[in-house]
Amino acid sequence: MVETPNENYVDKLRAPERLSSGSNSHQSSPFIIRATTDPTTSVNLTSSFSSASRPFADDASVYMDLASEQQSVSTSRRHLEHQLLQSMRSLDLSPRGHAVSNEIPSLFETRDPDNESQGPLPQEKQFFILSSAGKPIFSMHGKDELVMGLMGIIHTVANYFKVHDTKIHSITNSGGGCIKQNLVFIDKNPILLMAVSSREESLNDLSQQLDFLYSYLICTLSRRQLTRLFTKRENFDLRHFLTNTDFENLTHICESIANGFNPDFLLGALRCLTMRKSTRQAVHTAMLTHVQHAEVASERGTVLYGLIVAPGGQLCAVLRPRGHTLHTTDLHLLFSLIFNQYQGLQDDQELWLPICFPKFNSSGFLHCFIRRLPPHLTRTSPDLTAAGSETPLEDNREVSSSTPALVLISAQKESFFELKKIGQQIVDDLVSKSLLEQIERASKFGFTMADIPAKFVHHFIYKSKKHVQYVMPRLEELDLYNNDPYDDRTSTFTANYRDDQGEYERPDSHKREKHKVYLYKLMRTYTHIRNNVIDQNGAPLNRSVLSFIQWSSDGLPMNGLPHGEVVDVLCLAWLTPTFELFLICNNGASDRNAVLRSAKAIVDWCRRNEDRLFVKNGAIF
């Protein structure tokens, strides 16, 4: 699982000597030096540059002034970053023991996509879906003819589990020097699913992933229809019934689970959009007013739920009936559909989508009215909608992938035009109160590590258990459901420097690839640190757990790091009945007390800003 670096579990007994054996004493000094005095520290870089993007900094200009004072050469952020990058590279010329980088090393074996066999059972990760009669339905990798045979084996094994009525439906394959592989089966008669993974995922993670794939099938077909199809004929070939869209969506989901940055699945929570309390309140009020107004006019129950969701599946606002909430899985499915279908959706286009929410009612369909919130640049007034097609389109298209969406959910399949009207009223209201602008800004910028007084921390995820939502500092270009959009905002994260890559401007695809690798690395690290404090059933090891994990290497050059830099990564997982915190420190930061202080600072900060970070109740009617 782990390649070069040694992996230390700090909370175990043997760990402390190892840790103290490192050259810790002089190590902490570079950390506290500010960027102005020592550019090699990256911890505080972002704090001295304000990106104009900080929702919590009311007057970003103050920060800008500071930055420009410190670096009188130029106030251009890009230029500054460029300079910093160069100074980063100076590390290579004068390596001096541990240095802090804002890149985290690859802690896990990474696959080489070129060398990976295209066979049906690559070691990394594979999903299969088949019918209980053994007919293949879907596989993530592999050609049909190769998969066919395997499906037979899967079918046999699954039946073995069934006949012997075992509780556990998994096989762990380790030995013969090969990488440990987990095989997990779930039987959702008439559907069988299997996952193969050689990563640090737990059996519980894998069965949840399979459950999500199964939920997709239900969401598009409904349990009732699925059962009916197979009762008629047990050896029904579901592939004939599913369409290209379904296979694309399944592939997309698998990709997103396997190679994307997707804490949603790992945590079983929704990512929440960070917004001012008053803004969120105003959005909720706008939604509530128009829905209630419409309720009076037409019959009750036209609108069941209302949602505003920002790119990346970030929840912005929720409108719901008292006493009812939608299940996280249902919302994940909906968001995944919205953002998979997003590219095709134009500003003035509205979708009417029948969808079955498996956790809400697995045998019936609800109908979703979906429209994109227009970018605030092109303010549409209600009387202009007819002429809307004449507005310049090019501008819209550029931002199209990053605009939020409004979703209104109804139980009535005929209520499109009513929902359309309500939707238009809500949008007009949001536009006239310039809330749209704020939603859009929030979805683009979020918060960064610099907003929180927590040193050494590279990145963290904080989940509020009560709200079943999580937040994390902005990851540039993060987009869970839509891998494409990658705008030109440069990120200190994505930059990855080697000697031979001196130039600052690089082809977009290259940066994107780097970013993907970075996210992938981050995701695997989070999965690993979470699974260290979670048992195989997905429950925390204790009511409260605090656990450090440290990776250190002996100075061998690591993939993704400047030469001469060694791996020394400290991570922390902290689970309590109210929250879960996972954090990854900068490479080289190994002062556990300081990290713990930072963790406390993050928890304090998240609690203090709870109203901004989470959708607490939503608009209830």
Partner 1 sequence: MLQFKLVLLGDSSVGKSSIVHRFVKDSFDEFRESTIGAAFLSQTLKLEKHEDVTIKFEIWDTAGQERYKSLAPMYYRNANAALVVYDVTQPGSLVKAQSWVDELKHKVGDQDLVICLVGNKLDLCEDNDTVRQVDMGDAQIYAQEQKLLFHEVSAKTGAGVAQIFQEIGEKVYERKATESAASTAHQSRKPLNVELQRPSTNDSTSCCV
Matching residue, tokens 């359309």? 420
Query: What number of other Cβ atoms are within 10 A of residue 178's Cβ?
Result: 10
Q: How far is the CB of 174 from partner 1 (least distance, A)?
A: 40
Residues 6+ apart with CB under 8 A from 282: 433, 435
Binders of partner 1 among residues 314 to 343 (CB under 8 A) are 337, 340-341, 343
Matching residue, tokens 């989901």? 253
Q: How far is the CB of 242 from partner 1 (least distance, A)?
A: 9
Is residue 421 classed exposed, middle or buried when 0-12, 13-18 and 19+ CB atoms within 10 A define those classes? middle
Residues 6+ apart with CB under 8 A from 335: 309, 313, 481
Site string for partner 1, 417-446 (x = CB under 8 A): ---x--------------------------
Q: Does residue 468 belong to the site contacting partner 1 (CB under 8 A)?
A: no
Q: Does residue 386 belong to the site contacting partner 1 (CB under 8 A)?
A: yes
Q: Does residue 383 belong to the site contacting partner 1 (CB under 8 A)?
A: no
Q: Where are the beta strands (DSSP E) in 384-468?
A: 405-410, 457-464
Measured from the CB atom, the residue of 186 and 254 that comes closer to partner 1 is: 254
Closest C-alpha among 565, 544, 542, 540 to residue 553:
565
Range in contact with partner 1 (rule: CB under 8 A) among 49-57, 176-184, 348-356, 451-459: 348-356
Return the DSSP state at 2.
Answer: B
Measured from the CB atom, the residue of 48 and 412 that comes closer to partner 1 is: 412
Q: Of these, 38, 350, 437, 611, which contacts partner 1 (CB under 8 A)?
A: 350
Measured from the CB atom, the residue of 341 and 576 that comes closer to partner 1 is: 341
Measured from the CB atom, the residue of 323 and 392 that comes closer to partner 1 is: 392
Q: Does residue 227 belong to the site contacting partner 1 (CB under 8 A)?
A: no
Q: Does residue 346 belong to the site contacting partner 1 (CB under 8 A)?
A: yes
Angle at 532 between CA 530 and CA 537, to 5 degrees: 80
Measured from the CB atom, the residue of 225 and 378 that comes closer to partner 1 is: 225
For residue 6, what are the β-bridge partners?
552
Range in contact with partner 1 (rule: CB under 8 A) among 260-268, 296-304, 344-352, 534-542: 344-352
Q: Of these, 20, 156, 166, 243, which contacts partner 1 (CB under 8 A)?
A: 243
Range in contact with partner 1 (rule: CB under 8 A) among 21-29, 38-46, 240-248, 316-324: 240-248
Is residue 167 classed exposed, middle or buried when 0-12, 13-18 and 19+ CB atoms within 10 A define those classes? exposed
Distance in angstroms between the alpha carbons of the first and the last residue of the chain = 50
Kindly give the residue spans of alpha helices, DSSP state H, lying in 462-559: 508-531
Q: Does residue 152 belong to the site contacting partner 1 (CB under 8 A)?
A: no
Q: Of these, 321, 354, 364, 382, which contacts partner 1 (CB under 8 A)?
A: 354
Kindly give the residue spans of alpha helices, DSSP state H, lying in 448-587: 508-531
Q: Does residue 395 belong to the site contacting partner 1 (CB under 8 A)?
A: no
Token readout for 494 is 């994505």
Matching residue, tokens 């199809």? 229
Q: How far is the CB of 295 from partner 1 (least distance, A)?
A: 22
Measure the CA–CA gap between 189 and 169, rounded to whole angstroms.
14
Q: How far is the CB of 199 from partner 1 (least distance, A)?
A: 29
Interface residue list for partner 1 (CB under 8 A): 220-221, 225, 241, 243-245, 248, 337, 340-341, 343-346, 348-355, 367-368, 385-390, 393, 413-414, 416, 420
